[in-house]
């Protein structure tokens, strides 16, 4: 996923994070300067759905405008794992529960 807050805000004429922060506060979402800076300059690792809802209302957008899927990144991450599994041989699955083997006495 790619976070697209700055471009979405710029398309609506909001060029500074302080301006967006003020608009969010007017809509009932108070964000600290540090958190606003992190939202504005980078990709958040976590965002509350209520906060995302307020951001979407203020910017008159949808979450699709703010979160851009990047399926090529997923394909790039899974390809080496699948290649390694194919070359390492059969997968051993441990048995759990009552049917465990008893160690030799």
At 44-70, the pLDDT tens digits run 989 999 999 999 999 999 999 999 988
- Contacts with 34 (C-beta within 8 Å, 6 or more apart), sequence order: none
Number of domains in the chain: 1
At 74-98, the pLDDT tens digits run 777 765 655 555 566 677 666 666 6
Q: Is 91 a member of any domain?
A: no
Mean pLDDT of 29-50: 92
Q: Is 100 a member of any domain?
A: no
- Structural domain including 41 reads 2-62
Give the whole-number percent of the chain exceeding pLDDT 70: 74
Q: Is 44 a member of any domain?
A: yes
Q: Is 33 a member of any domain?
A: yes
> Rounded to whole angstroms, how far apart are CA atoms 75 and 63?
23
Q: Is 90 a member of any domain?
A: no
DSSP-derived secondary structure letter, 27: T
């Amino acid at each position: 996923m790619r976070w697209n807050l700055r471009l979405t805000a710029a398309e609506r004429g909001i060029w500074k994070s302080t301006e967006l922060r003020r608009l969010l506060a007017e809509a009932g979402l108070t964000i600290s300067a540090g958190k606003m800076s992190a939202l504005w300059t980078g990709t958040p690792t976590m965002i509350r759905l209520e906060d995302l809802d307020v951001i979407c209302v203020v910017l008159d957008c949808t979450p699709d405008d703010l979160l851009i899927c990047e399926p090529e990144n997923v394909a790039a991450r899974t390809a080496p794992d699948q290649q390694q599994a194919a070359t390492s041989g059969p997968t051993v699955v441990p048995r759990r529960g009552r049917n465990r083997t008893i160690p030799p006495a």
